[in-house]
Amino acid sequence: MSTPSSLDVLIEALRCLPGVGPKSAQRMAFHLLQRDQRGAARLATALGHALEVLRHCSRCNTFCEDEVCARCASPQRDASQLCVVEMPSDLAMLEQTHSYHGLYYVLMGRLSPLDGIGPRELGLEKFLGRACDGAVQEVILATNFTNEGEATAHMISELLKSRGIKVSRIARGIPVGGELEHTDSGTIAQALVERRSL
Amino acid sequence: MSTPSSLDVLIEALRCLPGVGPKSAQRMAFHLLQRDQRGAARLATALGHALEVLRHCSRCNTFCEDEVCARCASPQRDASQLCVVEMPSDLAMLEQTHSYHGLYYVLMGRLSPLDGIGPRELGLEKFLGRACDGAVQEVILATNFTNEGEATAHMISELLKSRGIKVSRIARGIPVGGELEHTDSGTIAQALVERRSL
Ligand SMILES: [Zn+2]
Ligand SMILES: [Zn+2]
C-alpha cells in the first residue's frame, strides 16, 4: 500500500542534487511526473549524454568534449600566463572582462579539509605538471577570497615558488569573503591589473 | 570558446526542476559532473524508469505501476467513503493517523487559475466518474485550508451536491496540543463557528 518503488527510487535519486532534502525531492518528483514529463525526459537524456561525452581538458582541466578545449588550442591566447580559478563559472566571469588574454587552469574546486578535499583530491599534481611545462612564465591566482580560496592560493603559491615559478594573486579589489561569480566585471578587471607578485 | 554544448544542455534541462534558476542549475550540473557522477547516473536511470512505468491508478488517480493500486484493490477498505486529497503526500499523512479506512481520490493538484489549472486541467471529470460510481456514500474533502485548497473543495462540493452525493469537509480548528495564545485569530474564529455540542 506504500509508494510505488519506481517513485521511491526517483525521490531518493533526486537527493543527489545539492541542497535537496526529502521534502523537496518529493515535490520535484511529483512536479516532473505530473506537470513536466517532457522536461523530465529531457533531463534524463541530458544527464546521460553529459556523463557520456564530457571530460576534462587535458590542459586546463575544464569540462570539455575533446582532449583539449578550444581555448587551450587557440594560438590567439598568450601561453606565458596561466590563470588559476576554482570553477568554470569563475573562468567565464574573467573572460567577460575582456582584459585577460592568457590561458587558464580550472581547479574544479578548492581545498576544503572539512569536505575531505586536500591537495590530492583537488588534483594539484596535474596542475603542477601544467604550470611547469616550460611555456608558463607567470601563474595568476584567481581563486575566491574566501577562507578556502585563500588557503588554496597560499598552498599553490608555496608549491610554485619552490619550483622557481613567478606567482601573482589578483588584487584584493574583490571584497573579503566575496565570490567572483557575484562581482561586477569592472571590479574583476581592476583586480587583474593590480595583481601583486608573491 | 564557450561552454561545451552537452553541459549547456544539461544546465538548461535542470531548470525544469521547480525552484531551480540558472545559477543553481549550473551549481547542480557542476556538482553532479565533478563530485557525484554515480548519483547523476542513478538519477538519469530513475527518471527514465519512472517515466516508463508510472501511471495513475484508474480508481484513485495516485501514482502507481499497475492499472489499479493495492489500496483501491483491497477488500479491507470501506468502499462507501471516498476522501479527496490534493497530493499523494497528503494521502500518506492521513494514512499515518490509522483513523480512516475508506478509499481515496488524489487530485494531483488543486484549482489554481493563476497557473492555468482549472477544473479541466485538474481532471475533475475523472473524479466525478469515480465519485458517482454507485458504491460511494460520502465524499470527504481533505484538500488543504489554503485559498486554492478551499476553492477546490468548494467547487467539488457544488458539483457533488448537484448530483445528490453527500459531501463533508474535514474540520478546521485549534490543533491538538495547541494553545489559543499561539493560534491565529482566523483559526480561533473558525473553531468558534464550527463548535460542536457536547
Ligand atoms: Zn582547456
Ligand atoms: Zn488507487
Looking at the complex, does the CB of residue A135 fall below 8 Å from at least one CB of chain B?
no
Q: Which residues of B43-71 are buried (b: 16+ CB within 10 A; e: fewer)?
A: bbbbbbbbbeebebbebbbbbbeeeebeb
Looking at the complex, does the CB of residue A193 fall below 8 Å from at least one CB of chain B?
no
Distance CA B90, CA B153 (A): 15
Same domain, A99 and A33: no
Tell me whether residue B144 is in a domain: yes
Please report residues of B whose CB lies closer than 8 A to that of A50. Answer: 6-7, 9-10, 29, 33, 40
Nearest to A89 among B18, B26, B64 (CB): B26
pLDDT at B92: 87
pLDDT class of B1 with cuts at 50, 70, 90:
low
Tell me whether residue B175 is in a domain: no
**pLDDT tens digit string along A38-84?**
999 999 999 999 999 999 999 999 999 999 999 999 999 999 999 99
> Which CATH number does the domain housing residue B86 bear?
3.40.1360.10
Same domain, A81 and A164: yes
Same domain, A112 and A163: yes
Same domain, A17 and A99: no
pLDDT at B192: 76
Please report residues of A whose CB lies closer than 8 A to that of B67. Answer: none
The predicted model gives A120-141 an average pLDDT of 94
Count of A-B CB contacts under 8 Å: 164
Nearest to B33 among A33, A54, A89 (CB): A54
Distance CA B124, CA B160 (A): 11
Domain that holds residue B131: 77-169
Q: How much is the pTM?
A: 0.80
Above 90 in pLDDT, residue A4?
no
- Give residue A71 CA to ligand 1 midpoint distance, Å: 6
Looking at the complex, does the CB of residue B30 fall below 8 Å from at least one CB of chain A?
yes
Tell me whether residue B177 is in a domain: no
Tell me whether residue B190 is in a domain: no
User: Cβ contact (<8 Å) for B16 and A39?
Assistant: yes
- Give residue A119 CA to ligand 2 midpoint distance, Å: 54
User: Cβ contact (<8 Å) for B41 and A28?
Assistant: no
**pLDDT tens digit string along B34-80?**
989 999 999 999 999 999 999 999 999 999 999 999 999 999 999 99
Above 60 in pLDDT, residue B23?
yes
Tell me whether residue B52 is in a domain: no
Tell me whether residue A34 is in a domain: yes
The count of domains in chain B is: 2
Please report the sign of the dihedral spanned by the C-alpha atoms of residue A162, residue A92, residue B10, residue A31: positive
pLDDT at B117: 92
- Give residue B91 CA to ligand 2 midpoint distance, Å: 11
pLDDT at A36: 94
What mean pLDDT, rounded, does chain A reach?
A: 90
User: Partners of A104 in the beta sheet?
Assistant: A83
Surrounding residues of ion ligand 1, Cβ less than 5 A: A 57, 59-60, 69, 72
Tell me whether residue A46 is in a domain: no
Please report the sign of the dihedral spanned by the C-alpha atoms of residue A153, residue A158, residue A162, residue A166: positive
Task: Supply B183's cell numbers.
Answer: 493560534
Same domain, B35 and B81: no
Same domain, A90 and A143: yes
